[in-house]
């Protein structure tokens, strides 16, 4: 199931990148790497892990830039083994490589701490995923009653009734003793 999810997320990322120019793809990837680096620096306390993840991020940034330069030089050559790659334009191939690299980076970071992937996605998309609970296809939840307010009201009534009952018992005890 996770492979299917990874493939779908990679396709979503790739389709987003296909709407961008090559320079915008590079800028997006650079922002992605910066976001990952910021989250790792902020939330990981182990210095060795931080330096290892930072080194991996720097390597990934360099790999994409090198692959991009190699892709520009060999743009006319197509391998017969992959018929889809022969049909794709260089920009589409570049978008696919960047999307694959992003998913690989997130998988690597997720292997260290899955919580970091959620934090990176929150930072990238400026969404608090902890507040999103409804899935697609589910009916909208009906407005719920404010049970906390009702609970407090019932407690107040109960306390008032208890005080009145105590006062009544004291009065009856006083009247009986007279």
Rounded distance between C-alpha atoms, residue 18 and residue 95, angstroms: 6
pTM to 2 decimal places:
0.57
Alpha helices in 44-82 (DSSP H): 47-73
> Which tokens go with 168?
């009544």
> Which tokens go with 35?
């976001």
Confidence of residue 169 (pLDDT cuts 50, 70, 90): very high
Q: What is the mean pLDDT of residues 128-155?
A: 68
Q: What is the mean pLDDT of residues 13-27?
A: 84
> Which tokens go with 102?
């992003």
Question: What pLDDT digit, counting tens, does each position of 97-130 carry?
Answer: 888 888 888 888 888 778 888 888 887 877 555 5
Is 162 or 61 the better-scoring residue by pLDDT?
162
């Amino acid at each position: 199931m996770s492979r299917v999810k990874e493939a779908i997320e990679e396709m979503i990322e790739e389709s987003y990148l296909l709407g961008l120019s090559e320079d915008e793809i590079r800028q997006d990837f650079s922002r992605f790497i910066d976001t990952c680096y910021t989250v790792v620096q902020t939330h990981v306390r182990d210095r060795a892990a931080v330096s290892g993840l930072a080194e991996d991020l720097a390597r990934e940034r360099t790999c994409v830039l090198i692959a991009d330069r190699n892709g520009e030089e060999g743009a006319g050559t197509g391998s017969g083994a992959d018929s889809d790659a022969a049909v794709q334009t260089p920009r589409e191939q570049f978008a696919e490589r960047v999307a694959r690299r992003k998913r690989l980076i997130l998988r690597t970071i997720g292997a260290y701490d899955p919580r970091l992937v959620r934090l990176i996605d929150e930072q990238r998309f400026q969404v608090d995923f902890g507040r999103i609970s409804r899935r697609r296809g589910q009916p909208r939840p009906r407005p719920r009653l404010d049970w906390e307010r009702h609970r407090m009201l019932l407690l107040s009534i109960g306390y008032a009734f208890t005080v009145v009952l105590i006062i009544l018992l004291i009065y009856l005890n006083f009247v009986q003793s007279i």
